[in-house]
Every structure is written in structure tokens, then in C-alpha cells.
């Protein structure tokens, strides 16, 4: 029976055990953009104080991702270094440590509702941009790591780095914990912001100790796959091995350059028309899988149902459907009972795979001119 | 100070007291499509068993709408008549009464976190389509009403009716409760599915006892405003008075005809590119207000941040900003601190009001051919 | 054999004899826009002095239309009243009479190369807009008519009138010649610029003596067909009979209102992306024929190959293909010998009928906001 | 006075004298596509028998280009090798020699009406594709050259070559005439069809004796400029000198790859929406000039008014406006006298430079998927 949910395995394995065994690991989606829309994150600041202020909102989003098939829940700790919190000026009377710890508890609580792993996340710092001072930047990462180590996390994720150098520093710090470390850059196929090509970036990260490398955010899925492929080639040429991961945008950004979707005129408040459909995600998940990537998730713009679409596309490879598929007919099967005959005719894979969706915006263009051109 | 949140008044007034006093009442957004995306509602069935199965998910969405400024929370009881639940075949071991009662409790619980009102909702029945038997259809509405009356609701909302005749029957039943009744049709400016024009529809509903009349779902905001204006004209010609309400789609549907967005090739799984931005909602809220409509909300496609946008556009008229605006700079003000100069340049109303957002989908058209042509 | 050219009949029949016999009469295309592009007409002025200054250019365009299957060549005398020539200020040392006479000679010369008829054309005058003085306006038409009557023309065509009143005056004057008179208005389905609906316009023109009535210019083919249908209904209701004609724009103008394509931002120097394909014209010709229209041509934007497409679509009805079809494989048949396999695959009707042509302009919208909204 | 036509110089200089003196040479536009639309060339065959069958049509198009400011008229001898004529099967009872000679006479006759030069044109042969036999292919070019040398031409143009090897052979033959030789390839920035990059192509052509090198056809202006820039760089690296020329498509083809617009679904009968505006041509002419290209014309899709736009953009550099500008207000100046205020408001450069023209085709995409992907 196609739509039956198989129970996920009950003995919890670590992230590396899973990847080493060749399993597909489904990541979670984007927190900051989604929680901005839900009313808990301030655009422009993008800081994660909601973990303290509105834990129910963060908990619910974690739960949705878990239910959609995510194997990993990242702590909601984006931009949660003290220097960033201070600059943003949005958070008062709450320390970074409080947020980091609350976020770990939330992720752990929900992960335990299923078979989820918790990844403690750190990201780029203003300090690096301002000083490039290795000692200072590493101290920031150390402080965050220590917050996490008070709690029960499974591994570390260093993500959203524009410069591989800063990511390397993060990895070097996090490796001292003894836990597995993943590292993703928000870069284009052109390389990082100082021009280091993706293959070379991957090599540096792995040499620094990263167990899993890849890209996240800033560009759309097909572009990110190209970048990860270049990382893979670089590692192979260097005779190195690492697991590959990808967490792209949930938006179509075909015209973007180096600086990604920040340069689009629609960023961040008019990106709706660029949002991927679940069918776009099916295609992405398949291509990522075919490229040899086994840790497949999403970043900004990836909503709950996009993660479910990854899980459904790779159901055969994983051996089960996620819990949320009990409320989703595969490839539109739920439409078979609709009252309108033309809607019933859409209850099939071929229809959705070939649809070219209209925007309903006839006075709008289909492509924009990025501001970094 | 522009961005300061004023406390909403603390003495709770009823819906008619508010509308009679000339207040703007902000409605909530769409539940079924949003909960489908979050993994709790099955597309094609669209039934509300999540109120029993996953109350935390429904509670959280209620809370978001309240926080975004909604004055009313509708019970999550769409399609919750026994005949519909039976046909859908999706719900087993849960009765309609159980769902209705659980949904009332959820809405009440969250409404009481602020100053919200609870509207008990009923909608079109398969029975009407199959039999047009007044006795049978009214019995169904009576049963739902009785479920609601066991709980603490403030007024009734009969919504999503394609035929004014069925809506009239619903109103006639609900009026026997002694509570205020609102009624909205999912019709186009052409009129209901049997050809009754909007003005005549409104007259019949008011004569049946409806205190508030308007439209919901099926078409985009500007089209729905046109329909409500026709209702208003019809009432004025007939010398009748009623409050006007509107809860349109959160999608652009300029090419739709009589049967609304059901006829779009993108319904229901590829509507992303049609989603309204928050700035589209600002425009909608202003035009609805200028048309004399005072109960202004949304239906399918209206997410939390769209409701916040209604509240922000009408903040001066209402005298306060909603709680969620503490996490939202008006007109993009939060971007003033962004690192990229071109993003900082977007922290102003003029930018967002004039932006024509691109879809990033150059091989897709901007308009579709509806299937009902 | 499908592609064989049959000789057109050699005994020349008059326009009314042809239409009375139920024949399809193919009109010619647009002169002013095409000759502007070829370098002989000044945009903004749109006056026809090229008939005197560059007769070879006018002659060649007449010849192309004849070769494409046109049964009628209109004299190149658009805007050729003395009051218009004077205002435009573009023409010096040439009188309107000189232009009118030269234009008659050119059309006659080329018409005689085949079996063509010559229609002497008059159009709206500045005098009408300024004075609405019947005596003065009629004197202008009388003067033009007298110019034409010195030459060998077959019938008169009063075209491009925004007000039916002026067109009626033109018809009343031209009827005194004893020659058949056609009259077309550049109006939308809403009616003429003073609000007279199309049906009433047609009635007035026929009562004034017009033998053929219809619309030309300002709007795209499918919109113009709707207007002519309304004219037909008006005549039928009034118990009147007349032949119907249509000469629409060769551009897609779906968003236009009352004032037609003048209100589009692209008018007149960026209309390229709106140009109809030959396949659009096939569809138009068939729909015009099905609507009972028998005089079918084009106006601004209709190039030679568009007229050929009318002739090819209606080849069975007319009994022959035009001379130019010796250089055109029907429905792309000439591509059968192309070197690229994918181009050969396009040598069939189904391909071209279903193609949705891309603009190659991803930063441009598909619809504009007309300036008369 | 801005709009005054200055007389072109009356002492006729040769092509190399002009280019050596640093003059801008304006080329002519495309013949085959335009004459197809006018009814004289068969699509799919694209052979130039009209030079014999309908000399008046060819003469008129030459005259338009001359009047629009072209300094060079190419003989209408595209695909006029005996092997191509035979394969096409379209031409009977007319030899290639007859066409070549008639075409030379027509170009000469019209060129002498102004100060034009005549370029005898040869293009790629089926023989090369089938045999790659240097002796046979060169014999074909020799035969065509001998036809031309019976007539009065000024220089040779070898154009529309997909393989630089064949172009080199053409140049080697044509150089034996003692006349200047230009050579253009229909290639993308990727290089010719056997993968020779543009820079290397240019070097080989110049070493073979070409005085002028560049690209023509197959891709849009901005893409062709990129290719010519690569040619220029290649020549500079090799220490070679040659004049640069460019004759691109008059269509927008942003999505095209190696095989150019042949791969677009719209080729050749639905390219309308891709046509360039005169303002697109202004931009092209300026960028070509800035890239150091001094022989600037057009190929398929370049109509008369596009050539006029080149002449107008470069009027200051050339010192005069073309004759056809007497019928064209610069940057829309002719609209100043229009009756509608919103059209008068368009009589300025800023308006047209910034306009994003709509297609009026809301159900069509803006980009296609090329068939060679």
C-alpha cells in the first residue's frame, strides 16, 4: 500500500553512523523566515530570542519539521553570538547563553518525540567581518559551544559562512568538543567571498576536521547542487572523504550572482512569487540524491511541506514515509474525491510534474536585475 | 512613536457592539491551507479533525492570528458536518461533535489570551448539493449549532456558501440561538452559482436575519471588494442595513471566473507564485476600508503576516498596533541596519509600494487558462 | 494538391457583387506603421505624403498586399484632409489633392496587376474634434471625394472614426458619388467616444447609406470581432442588412480600454513584443469568418505575411491560394527539409497552433497599465 | 539643429579606406526573413531567387537600407551556391550565376543612388558539411566569386559560417580577387561548431587574409558583442590587426546556447515577441561602438528602422543623420504634437530608454527551453 507509514527505526543512531551506513538524512527547513511570518522574528535583525520569549512557537515549528520527516532538528540559535545580539539591538534582558540553552532544550524535547537528532548551530559573526582576528572569533565560537555542551546535543553544525576562513575557525573550535561537526557555506559556484573556489573550500573544511560539508542558504536548490558537486570534485581530487550536505533556499533565484538572494529586489519582503512548490522540491531532492548528497534539507523559504516533499521523494530509499504523509496523498492523490471533474483530473504525478505555474501577476516581470550587478 | 504597541482595550465588547461603534474588526486568516502545509490537514478532504488529533497545531495558529491583531478567531470547524466527514472518509473514530467541541475550546482558550471573540463556523454541506432538501439541510446546521452552544462562543459565522439559498437556511437556523450571525458567500461579482446577483444575495441574507454579510474565499481581494460593493448597493437600494465583511483569498487570481480559484491549473498544490505579499495586503486593507467594509480578514492563503499587515495598515483607525508588530518594522524599517547598502535602501514605504516582484520562473506564464472556460 | 495556386477569376466584379455573392473579400494591411518602419512616414504625424515623395515605396507595399491575396487596395490617403495636413506641419509644397490623386493612381496601377479593387479612403478630421460643425466637416469630405472622383476608384471607405456622428457625415457625403461606401469605426465593444453602443453605431451608419460596416484599428482582432458581433446584433434587431467588415490591429492588446492601444505605454515605438504571429492571424481569420464577417483585413501592425495568413486560412472558402503562397509552405511545411531534426519536427500545424511563444524579455511584464485608466 | 540631415560625403571611398580612417560603417539589415514576410522568400529554403523573379522587391529593400543610413549593401545572394540551390529544390529554370549577377546589378543600382558600397556575399555550403573536401568547397566559392567579378562590386563578404575552417577556405579563395574581404561567423562566445574559440577563429581568418572579421546572425546583439570582444582579444594576443564587424540578430535570445536561435521553439515562424525595439538597437549600437567595433549592421530580424536607429545613435560620430531621419523625430520627438497628453509625454529619450515593454501575451512565458539542451 503506497501511502502507509512505516515506523522509523527505534534505536537511535548518531549522525555519522547513519551517514556511514549510507542512509539518507533529511534535514529541517528554515526557521528565521518562517518565524518572521508567524510573528516571532524581526526581519533585518533575524535574531532567535523567540526561543526564550515564545518557546511554544519554536517548539511547534520543530515539531512540524520532525513530523515532515526531518531526522535532524537544528537548535534555533541563528546569529546567536553575543556580538551579533548586541549589534542588532533587538534583544534586551536576555543573554545569548539563555537563548542557546533554551533552544537546545526545545530541540531536544521535540526530537525525543520521534527519533530525531539535535544539531547545535553556530553561524557567521560580525566580529570576523570587522576584525578577522582569529583569537577573538574563536573565543565567540568557544563560548557558544560551551553553552551547547551544557545541554544534550548530538552534533554541531557551523552554517551560513561567506568566508571559508571563518568556517574553518568554527570547525577547529567545535572539533574540540569531541562531537561530529558539519559545516556549510552560503556560497555560489563561484566560490566564497574572497574567491576561494568550492572545491578548495571543501578541502579546507575537511582538513580542519569537518565530518560533513556542503552549502546552505543564499541560492536556489539547483544552483546549490552545482556548488556541492564542485566541493565533491575538490575532495576527490585531494583524496579526501567527507559526507555531503545541502540546505538551499526554497526560492527560485536563477538570476542571482555571488551575493545570492540578498541582491534581489524582492528580498526579504516580496519573495512570495519565487517560492518553490512541493513538486519543485521533489525534483531537487532527486537531483541532490543523484549527486551523491545524503544529508538533504532546506534553509530560508523551506516550509514544513517542502521537507515533507523531500521525505516523500526519497521514501523508497529511506524505507518509510514521514508521519505527516498521513495527511498528504502522494502526487496529489487526495484530489481523487474532489467535486469538480477538472480537479479530480489533477490527482496524478504527470500533471504536477509538467505544470508551469502562473503567477497571476501580469504586470510583473519573471526575472529581476540583482543589485550586485 | 510610530512603532509602539498600544494595549488593546481590556473590556471585551461583542462583535455587534464593536461594529456598531464603527470599530474596525480584523478577522483571522485561512486555516485549512496553512494547516495542510504544516502537515495536519489533508488536501482534497480539507476536514478539521486536527482540532482533536493535533490540538497544539491548531492552538498555535490561533495564537499567531491573535498576536497578528485578529479580533475574531473562527473555530476550526470547516466542513465539519457529519455528511461531509462521512464522504471524505478521512476521519475515523472521531465524531463531528467531538471536533466541533474541541475546536470551540481551542479558539476560546486562545481568544482569552487577548481580547478575542470566538465565532462558531458552519459551511456548505454535500446534503444541499445532493438534495436541496430544506429540512435535511437545516437539521445538519441545527446539529452543529447545538454542538457550539454547549461551549462558549460569541457569535456564529456561516461561510463558504456557493448558493445563497443554502446560506439563508443556515442563517435561519443560527438565528434561533439568539447570538449574532455573520454570513459570507464564496461568489464572484457575477453572483452565486444559480445566478443570483450579489446585491440580491445580500438582501436575502439580511432578511433571513444575518447581522453581517459579505464574501469569503474563491477570489482575490480586489475582486472580492467588488462583490461586497455590489452587496452594499443592493442593500442600500432595498433600504436594508447590515455590517459588511470580507475574507478573500491570499492569492492573485485575475483570470478567474465564476468558480474561482478551483478552476486554476495551480489549485491546490502550485499556488505559491500567486501568493500576496504583505504590501499587497496593505493595499487591500485600505481599499476594503474605503469601501465601507469594517470586518476585514482573510481566507485560504492568508497567513499570519498577512493579518499583521491588515492590522498595520489600519493601525491609525484602530488606535493600536498588534503584539506581533513588536517583531516587524513598519514598511520595512527593520532593514535600516542591514549590512548591504542596497538592502538598507529598501527600508521605506515607497520602495515596497512600487516594487513589481519577479517570479524567478522565466519559463512560466503570468496568467493561466481557467478550467471552467 | 494542397499548395497549388489557382488563378483568381479574371472578370472583375465590384465589391458589392462579390459580397452579395457570399465571397470572402480579403482586405489589405496597415500602411502607416509599416511605412514608418520602412522610412517614409513620420510617427506622430502619420500623414501620407509618401504617395508623392516616394511612390516606389507605396507601390511596393500595395504590390505585396495584392500578392498576399488582398482583393482590395486602399488608397494611401490616411489623414489626408487639408486641415490635418496643415496641423501636422510635416508636409510642405504638396497639397492634399496632389497626394489623393497620386495615391489613387498608385493603388489603381497595382490593383490592375491582379484582380484588385481600389477603395478611396477618408478618415477622421481635426475639424470635427474642434468644431463639430456639420457643414465644415462635410465640405472637407466633399473635397477629398472630388479628388478621388477624378481618378478610377471602385468604392469608398470611411475609416478610423472615433465618433459615429462624424462617420455618418462622411457616409452621407460619399454616398452622393453613387459608388458603394464602407464605413469602419475605431471603437471598442463599449461603443464610440460619446458612448453610442456598437449596435446603434451600425444602425446609424447603415441608415446613412453605408453598404458595409465594421471596425478598424485601435484594438486586437478578438476584441474587434466582439465589437462587430455587437454591430451585427444591432442591425438584426433593427431589421437592417449590411455587409460586415473588420480590419483590426496586428497587436495583442488584452488590457486596453476605450481608447485602445494609444493608451499602452508601448505606443507607438515599442509595440514589437505584442505583434501577432501568422498563426494568431489564422485563428483570427477563422473566428471572423465564423462570426459572419466577409470583408476581412487588417490595420496597423498587419504586415504582408499576416494578410497572406488570412488568405491561407480561408483558401478553401475562396477556392484559391494567393500568389505569395508559392513562397510559403502551409503550416510550416517548408521546414521539412531543414538540417536540424528539431526544426523539421515543426513542419506541422499542431506544433504552431499550440506554441506559446516566449518573448526573450525576462525583465519585462506581460501586461501593461493603460494610461487611460 | 539636431534633426537636420547633412549630406553624406560625395567622393566614394572604399571600405578599407573608410575603416582605416576610423569611420563608422553602418551595415544593412536582414534580407531573407524580411523578404519572407514580404512574400518573396520561402522559409526553410531561404534561397535568393527573388533577385531574378521579383527584382522590384529586392531593389526596394536595398533602397530602404540605404535610406536608413547603410554604407554597404550586400548582394542578395545568401545560400546562392549551386549545391545549395539544387538541394533546396525550390529554384527551377534559374541558375546560381543568374541570381548572383542579377543581385549584383540590383545592389549596385541602388548603392549608386547614394554613396553606398556593394559587398558580394558568399555563405556556408552543404558541400562542406557533407564532404569537408577543400578542393570541392573552394571550387564552389571560386565559381561564385567569378560571377561577382563580372559585375561591379566593391568588396567581398564571407558570412554565416559555423566552422571557421570553411570560412578560411572562402577567404583564401576570395582574396585571389584582389578585393578586400570581410568574414563573419555565426558562432556563440563558446566558439565555432568544432569548438575553436572566437579568439582563435579570428586569428585564423586574419591569417587567411581577411581584412575585416566578426560575427553575424544566430544570436542577439549583446551576445554577439561578447563574441567579437573575444575575437579582438585573440587578435591582440596574436599581435594581429583587423577591422571588427558585427551583424547580429534583431531578436532577444538570452536563453540560447551554441546553436543559436535555430534551437528556439519560436524559430522561424513565431519570433515576433522577441523582436528588438529601435531603443534596444540604440543600446546595441552604442555598446558595439564602445567595444571598438566600427562596422555595425544587422542580420535576420534587423528591419529598416533598426538600421536607422544605428545611424541615429551614431549620428554624432558619423557627422550626419541618414535620409530616412527626415521621417523620424529623434527619441520620439514626433509625438510632441499628439492629441493625447499621455502620448505627448512620451516624446523624450528617458521615457523610451527606461520602458520595459509588455508582450500582451499573459499566457506565454518569457523564456523558452532551447531544443539543443
Distances (CA, A) of A74 to A27, A31, A63, A210, C258: 8, 9, 12, 17, 58
Higher pLDDT, B92 or A278: A278
Q: Which CATH number covers residue C113?
A: 3.20.20.330
Q: Across the interface, which of D356, D362, D365 has its CB nearest the CB of A362?
A: D362
B11 touches chain C (CB under 8 A): no
- pLDDT band at D82; cut points 50, 70, 90: confident
Predicted local distance difference test score (pLDDT) of residue A86: 86
**Residue D2 is assigned to a structural domain of this protein:** no
Indicate whether D144 pLDDT > 90.
yes
- Chain A touching partners, 3 or more CB pairs below 8 A: B, C, D
- Give binding residues of C for Zn(2+) as ranges: 217, 299-300
**What ipTM was assigned to the predicted interfaces of this complex?**
0.95
Given pLDDT bands bounded at 50, 70 and 90, which one contains residue C11?
Answer: low
Tens digits of per-residue pLDDT, B244-294? 999 999 999 999 999 899 999 999 999 999 999 999 999 999 999 999 999
- Determine, yes or no, domain membership for A306: yes
Q: Can the peptide bond before residue C268 be classed as cis, meaning omega within 30 degrees of 0?
A: yes
Q: Please check whether residue D349 lies inside any domain of the structure.
A: no
CB atoms within 10 A of CB C176: 13
**pTM to 2 decimals?**
0.93
Tell if the CB–CB gap between C305 and D36 is shorter than 8 Å: yes
The fraction of chain B above a pLDDT of 70, given in percent, is 97
Does the distance separating the beta carbons of B366 and C366 come in below 8 Å? yes
User: Contact partners of C by the rule of 3+ C-beta pairs under 8 A?
Assistant: A, B, D
| Residue B274 covered by a domain | yes
Please determine, for residue B5, whether its predicted confidence score (pLDDT) is greater than 70.
no
Reported as a pLDDT band with limits 50, 70 and 90, residue C91 is confident
Number of CB pairs < 8 Å for A and C? 21
Which backbone phi and psi does D154 adopt, to 5 degrees? -95, -35
In a domain, B337, yes or no: no
Q: What is the tally of structural domains in chain B?
A: 1
| Interchain contact, A366 vs D366, CB within 8 Å | yes
> Chains that contact D by 3+ CB pairs under 8 Å?
A, B, C
Q: Is residue B30 part of a domain?
A: yes
Grid coordinates given for B354: 512600487
Does B8 have pLDDT greater than 50?
Answer: no
pLDDT by 10-residue block (mean), chain A, 373 residues:
44 90 98 98 95 98 98 96 84 91 98 97 95 96 98 97 98 98 98 97 98 98 98 98 98 95 97 98 98 98 98 98 97 91 95 97 96 83
Give the tens place of pLDDT for each residue, D249-277. 999 999 999 989 999 999 999 999 999 99
Predicted confidence band at C3 (pLDDT cuts at 50, 70, 90)? very low
Would you call B149 exposed, middle or buried from its count of C-beta atoms within 10 A (0-12, 13-18, 19+)? middle
| B358·C363 Cβ contact <8 A | yes
Measured in residues, chain D has a length of: 373
**Candidate from B255, B363, B369 with C-beta closest to D365:** B363
Q: What pLDDT does residue B165 have? A: 98
Q: What is the mean pLDDT of chain C?
A: 95
Look at residue B41 and tell me whether its pLDDT is greater than 80. Answer: yes
What is the per-residue pLDDT for C8?
A: 47
Residue A127 known to bind ligand: no
| Phi, psi dihedral angles at A150 (to 5 degrees) | -75, -15
Give the end-to-end CA distance of chain D in Å, rounded to a whole number: 52
Residue D298 pLDDT grade (very low, low, confident, very high; cuts 50, 70, 90)? very high
Q: How far apart are CA C179 and CA C171, in angstroms?
A: 11
**Is residue C338, in this structure, part of any structural domain at all?**
no
What is d(CA C55, CA C40) in angstroms, rounded to the nearest whole number? 10
Mutation target among C365, C368, C370 for the A interface, most CBs of A within 10 A: C365
User: Does residue C215 surpass a pLDDT of 80?
Assistant: yes
* Res B166 pLDDT > 60: yes
Is the pLDDT at D6 greater than 70, yes or no? no
Q: Does A355 contact C at CB distance below 8 Å?
A: no
pLDDT in tens, A276-330: 999 999 999 999 999 999 999 999 999 999 999 999 999 999 999 999 999 999 9
User: In this predicted structure, what is the pLDDT of residue C256?
Assistant: 96
Give domain status of residue A8, yes or no.
no
- The whole-angstrom separation of Cα D180 and Cα A308 is 67
Nearest to B356 among C356, C358, C365 (CB): C365
pLDDT of D19-53, one tens digit each? 999 999 999 999 999 999 999 999 999 999 999 99
Consecutive H or E run containing C181: strand C181-185
Overall average pLDDT of the C336-359 stretch: 94
Query: Cβ of D66 under 8 Å from any chain C Cβ?
Result: no
Rg for chain A (alpha carbons), in Å? 20
Chain B contact for D369 (CB, 8 A cutoff): yes
- Long-range CB pairs of D127-132 (<8 Å, 24+ gap) are D127/D81, D127/D83, D128/D163, D128/D165, D128/D166, D128/D169, D129/C339, D132/D165
Please report which confidence band the pLDDT of residue C373 belongs to, taking 50, 70 and 90 as the band edges: confident
User: N- to C-terminal Cα distance for chain A?
Assistant: 52
pLDDT digits (tens, 9 = 90+) for C277-287: 999 999 999 99
Q: Which residues of chain B lie closer than 8 angstroms to A57, CB-CB?
A: 60, 63-64
Which residues contact residue B214 at a Cβ distance below 8 angstroms, ignoring those fewer than 6 apart? B182, B183, B184, B185, B228, B231, B244, B245, B246, B247, B293, B295
Under 8 Å CB pairs connecting chains C and D tally to 268
Confidence of residue D339 (pLDDT cuts 50, 70, 90): confident
Residues of D forming the annotated binding site for Zn(2+)?
A: 217, 299-300
User: Within chain D, where are the H helices?
Assistant: 15-20, 32-38, 50-53, 55-67, 82-88, 96-111, 126-131, 134-149, 164-175, 198-208, 221-238, 278-290, 304-313, 315-318, 341-344, 349-354
Residue holding cell 543589485? A371
Q: Chain A closest CA to C255's CA: distance in Å?
A: 10
> What per-residue confidence (pLDDT) applies to B11?
59
A123 prior amide bond cis, ω within 30: no
| CB < 8 Å to D275, chain C | 272-273, 275
Domain that holds residue C87: 15-328
Per DSSP, chain D holds a count of helices (H) and strands (E) of 16, 8
pLDDT digits (tens, 9 = 90+) for D154-188: 999 999 999 999 999 999 999 999 999 999 999 99
Tell me the pLDDT tens digit for each residue of C153-185: 999 999 999 999 999 999 999 999 999 999 999
Residue given cell 477622421 in the structure block: C124
Residue D366 touches chain A, beta carbons under 8 Å = yes
Which residue carries 553570538 as its cell? A81
Q: Cα distance from A71 to chain D (closest Cα, Å)? A: 37
Amino acid at each position: 500500500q503506497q501511502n502507509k507509514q512505516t515506523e522509523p527505526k527505534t534505536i537511535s543512531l548518531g549522525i555519522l553512523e547513519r551517514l556511514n551506513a549510507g542512509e539518507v538524512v533529511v534535514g529541517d527547513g528554515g526557521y528565521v523566515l518562517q518565524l518572521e511570518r508567524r510573528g516571532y522574528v524581526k526581519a533585518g535583525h533575524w535574531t532567535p530570542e523567540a526561543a526564550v520569549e515564545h518557546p511554544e512557537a519554536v517548539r511547534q515549528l520543530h515539531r512540524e519539521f520532525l513530523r515532515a520527516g526531518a531526522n535532524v532538528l537544528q537548535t534555533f540559535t541563528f546569529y546567536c553570538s553575543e556580538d551579533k545580539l548586541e549589534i542588532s539591538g533587538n534583544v534586551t534582558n536576555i543573554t545569548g547563553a539563555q537563548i542557546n540553552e533554551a533552544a537546545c532544550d526545545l530541540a531536544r524535547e521535540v526530537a525525543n518525540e520521534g527519533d530525531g537528532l539535535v544539531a547545535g548551530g553556530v553561524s557567521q559573526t560580525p566580529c570576523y567581518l570587522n576584525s578577522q582576528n582569529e583569537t577573538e572569533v574563536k573565543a565567540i565560537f568557544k563560548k557558544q559551544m560551551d553553552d551547547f555542551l551544557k545541554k544534550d546535543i548530538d552534533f554541531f553544525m557551523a552554517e551560513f559562512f561567506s568566508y571559508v576562513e571563518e568556517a574553518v575557525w568554527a570547525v577547529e573550535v567545535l572539533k574540540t568538543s569531541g562531537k561530529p561537526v558539519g559545516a556549510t557555506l552560503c556560497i555560489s559556484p563561484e566560490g566564497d567571498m574572497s574567491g576561494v573556489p568550492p572545491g578548495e573550500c571543501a578541502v579546507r573544511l575537511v582538513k580542519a576536521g569537518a565530518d560533513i560539508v556542503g552549502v546552505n542558504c543564499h541560492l536556489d536548490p539547483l544552483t546549490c547542487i552545482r556548488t556541492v558537486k564542485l566541493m565533491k570534485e575538490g575532495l576527490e581530487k585531494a583524496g579526501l572523504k567527507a559526507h555531503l550536505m545541502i540546505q538551499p533556499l526554497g526560492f527560485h533565484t536563477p538570476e542571482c550572482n555571488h551575493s545570492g538572494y540578498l541582491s534581489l529586489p524582492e528580498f526579504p519582503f516580496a519573495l512570495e512569487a519565487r517560492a518553490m512548490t512541493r513538486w519543485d522540491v521533489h525534483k531537487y531532492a532527486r537531483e541532490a540524491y543523484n549527486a551523491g548528497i545524503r544529508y538533504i534539507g532546506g534553509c530560508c523559504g523551506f516550509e514544513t511541506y517542502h521537507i515533507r516533499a523531500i521525505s516523500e521523494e526519497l521514501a523508497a530509499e529511506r524505507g518509510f514515509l514521514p508521519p505527516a504523509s498521513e495527511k498528504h496523498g502522494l502526487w496529489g492523490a487526495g484530489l481523487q474525491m474532489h467535486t469538480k471533474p477538472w480537479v479530480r483530473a489533477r490527482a496524478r504525478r504527470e500533471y504536477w510534474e509538467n505544470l508551469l505555474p502562473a503567477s497571476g501577476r501580469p504586470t510583473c516581470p519573471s526575472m529581476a536585475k540583482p543589485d550586485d550587478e
